[in-house]
Structure 1
């Protein structure tokens, strides 16, 4: 992969062989975010889990204390008085059956998170082929299938993020923006890691956290010393 001049210059600040303390890694990730936009700082956590086994799956959600720096659009599938509740909570879109053709046929995807009340999951299930591959299907473990739509919407707007293993058993999540202070990024990162360490599957034998890397959207990865995280 061909790298630009800015990336090559920024990468010189990072020693690829070093495992950094969290504070140093955050400072470096901020320093190497040199793009013209406010880059997202992401955490990439390689685990020792084997996601092919149901008892080694990791999936959950956590509210980052300082949010993600991103405005999140929420779609709620609801009916009856839950429609008004969702709108009052600040949901961007609320609806039911009538949204199916709009999403399925028109390719409408103007939302980042989908919340559904349990009685709407039959309807939402029909969108599995569209929402599933995009990681947008509501899920009880992530708190997005719930009757408490007010809490769900409030949490998401406040900076709730979902974490889950990808096919290579890595978790990829944002912990904020390069414009955040080091203290804000450190708070968010610690909150995320506490949740992930707590989510360690009981069935896992061997090392849980194989590697943890922080990286700005367009910048180099900075490796963290995992021995100090657990």
Structure 2
């Protein structure tokens, strides 16, 4: 990607966007082409670890056994294996969990129980512990390292249209950090597309409440 073109688009975005009384996110939109999203092999579902913390507070819930209970205290909430039963068929509590947390980390040897009790609620919201993000862990895993990774991770997934959207930072970050995150997302997506960068039709940036600005090629 041309860093100068990205910088121009970012500067234009900031200049044309009225100031708000809150910190706006910087969103990245990739429009794809020549992709059949009905073909599972061409669908995109990728986690990207950004080089720079994108500025959004991520909340993480850990579903673990006694082996990881002490380490898991670094997360926002712990649900121990012996507490799983109280969530069984408790739609209200399960829905509350799914709304409150961005990521769920689960111990690998508990995944059968996690799927049985939490799967019906977390699955449709794309929040089941996912091996692609590293969120399915062994009892000997390094959880502080995982926490750092998840706090810098974003997920891009095609749904009903050949479009990928994610946030890559906020307006308080410096331009170099935001551009570094944009390039990381672009390169990770291009790497898994059937025809690489040729499948990316165009790239657009926008703030939370701004008009979009297209990145010139």
Global fold match (TM > 0.5) = yes
Alignment partner, residue 55 of structure 1: 41
Match of 1:146 among 126, 137, 158: 137
Alignment partner, residue 121 of structure 1: 111
Match of 1:104 among 91, 102, 108: 91
What is the CA-CA distance between 1:143 and the residue it aligns to?
A: 2.1
Whole-angstrom CA distance in 1 between matches of 2:123 and 2:201: 27
Q: Does 1:177 align with 2:164?
A: no
Unaligned runs of 5+ in 2: none
Count of paired positions: 202
1:21 is paired with a residue whose SS is helix
What is the CA-CA distance between 1:35 and the residue it aligns to?
A: 2.1
TM-score, normalised to structure 1, is 0.78
Q: CA RMSD in A?
A: 2.4
Q: Does 1:36 align with 2:24?
A: no
Match of 1:192 among 185, 201, 216: 185
Whole-angstrom CA distance in 2 between matches of 1:37 and 1:91: 26
Q: Bigger CA drift: 174-183 or 26-35? A: 26-35
Alignment partner, residue 66 of structure 1: 52
Cα distance 1:108–1:102, how it changes in 2: closer, same or farther (>3 A)? Answer: farther
TM-score, normalised to structure 2, is 0.82
Cα distance 1:80–1:145, how it changes in 2: closer, same or farther (>3 A)? Answer: same
Alignment partner, residue 213 of structure 1: 204
